């Protein structure tokens, strides 16, 4: 069956009517789809009868000095990916279809949105949660699928769903990596060959930390790799390395037991990359 493309709210409603009842899954994306997105679509197909993929580059989650205008837009290629994966509807609204010109109300990510990634991108998670809530309201899925690569985003969406009593199941899909270990990202296309050599130190640092079991040693092992990477050409410019509780994103202590996330963010040239690994501290 062909993919139905809905460019606005009325077209989305008609698409739902045409498909009919069943269990729906939503995979929200900003386009530039890659194998990581394919894995989320496949996971969504296991959870529901019909899969809806949204393609929307959300201006609210970009800061004034970030890459909104530069963010890759490959809609025709994205449609081909969706068709190949059996997606029934692609919802691709314009900014004017998503936000009123005099928009006033937004979602606040609270204190959890101001730490780790949020400390370096003020307001970012407010923009993420606002667009996600709108997409959930518009598509009305039974389940929504997000990638573990954006671990803090996933944790905040789960918290929003719990705090606002939304009748939607949130499923996290594992991070997909290239053969050399680099986490798949739409921004990887900006990396030069030399940039890529440096960027690989992110996953190397996470692996170094993951073999340790005590919080201090985990961060020490990862930081040693990152300090060496800072002397490469081009250098890796670290924003943060954090070991946090996966539900709250508060820093874990030496007494912490159970799951933890080792998260890192850094710039290589003009490209900012994030990565993380889920650990079990016993």
Global confidence as pTM: 0.96
CATH code for the domain of 264: 3.30.1300.10
Looking at the fold, whether 155 and 240 belong to one and the same domain comes out as: no
Domain residues for 104? 4-173
Give the model confidence (pLDDT) of 161-177 as tens digits. Answer: 999 999 999 999 999 99
Q: Is 37 assigned a catalytic role?
A: yes
User: How many domains, in total, are found in the chain?
Assistant: 2
Q: Are strands 259-268 and 271-280 parallel, antiparallel or unpaired?
A: antiparallel
The answer as to whether 163 is a domain residue is yes
The answer as to whether 178 is a domain residue is no
pLDDT in tens, the chain (282 residues): 789 999 999 999 999 999 999 999 999 999 999 999 999 999 999 999 999 999 999 999 999 888 888 899 999 999 999 999 999 999 999 999 999 999 999 999 999 999 999 999 999 999 999 999 999 999 999 999 999 999 999 999 999 999 999 999 999 999 999 999 999 999 999 999 999 999 999 999 999 999 999 999 999 999 999 999 999 999 999 999 999 999 999 999 888 889 999 999 999 999 999 999 999 998
Q: Which of 15, 16, 37, 157 is catalytic?
A: 37
Looking at the fold, whether 203 and 160 belong to one and the same domain comes out as: no
Last residue of a domain, one of 105, 138, 173: 173
Looking at the fold, whether 111 and 212 belong to one and the same domain comes out as: no
Residue 192 annotated as lining a ligand binding site: no
Residue 31 contacts by C-beta under 8 Å, 6 or more apart in sequence? 55, 56, 57, 72, 73, 74, 75, 78, 186
Residue 185 annotated as lining a ligand binding site: yes
Instruction: Measure the CA–CA gap between 197 and 17, rounded to whole angstroms.
Output: 49
Instruction: Count Cβ atoms below 10 Å from residue 217 Cβ, excluding itself.
Output: 12
Residue 33 annotated as lining a ligand binding site: yes
Residue 31 annotated as lining a ligand binding site: yes
Give the model confidence (pLDDT) of 95-106 as tens digits. Answer: 999 999 999 999
């Amino acid at each position: 069956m062909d993919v139905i493309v809905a460019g606005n709210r009325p077209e989305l409603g008609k698409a739902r009517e045409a498909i009919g009842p069943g269990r729906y899954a939503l995979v929200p994306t900003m386009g530039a789809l890659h194998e990581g997105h394919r894995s989320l679509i496949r996971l969504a197909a296991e959870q529901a009868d019909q899969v809806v993929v949204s393609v929307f580059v959300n201006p609210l989650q970009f800061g004034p000095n970030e890459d909104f205008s530069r963010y890759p837009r490959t809609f025709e290629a994205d449609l081909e990916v969706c068709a190949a994966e059996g997606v029934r509807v692609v919802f691709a609204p314009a900014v004017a279809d998503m936000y009123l010109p005099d928009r006033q109300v937004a979602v606040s990510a609270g204190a959890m949105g101001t730490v780790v990634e949020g400390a370096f991108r003020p307001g970012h998670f407010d923009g993420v949660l606002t667009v996600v809530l709108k997409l959930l309201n518009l598509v009305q899925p039974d389940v929504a699928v997000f990638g573990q690569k954006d671990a803090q985003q996933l944790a905040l969406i789960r918290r929003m769903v719990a705090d606002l009593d939304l009748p939607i199941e949130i499923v996290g899909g594992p991070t997909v990596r290239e053969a050399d270990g680099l986490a798949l990202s739409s921004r990887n296309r900006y990396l030069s060959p030399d940039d890529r050599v440096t960027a690989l130190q992110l996953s190397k640092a996470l692996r170094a930390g993951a073999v340790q079991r005590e919080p201090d040693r985990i961060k020490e092992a990862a930081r040693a790799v990152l300090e060496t990477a800072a002397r490469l050409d081009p250098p890796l410019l670290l924003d943060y390395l954090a070991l946090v509780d996966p539900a709250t994103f508060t820093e874990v202590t030496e007494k912490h037991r159970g799951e933890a996330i080792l998260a890192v963010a850094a710039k290589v040239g003009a490209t900012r990359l994030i990565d993380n690994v889920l650990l079990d501290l016993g």
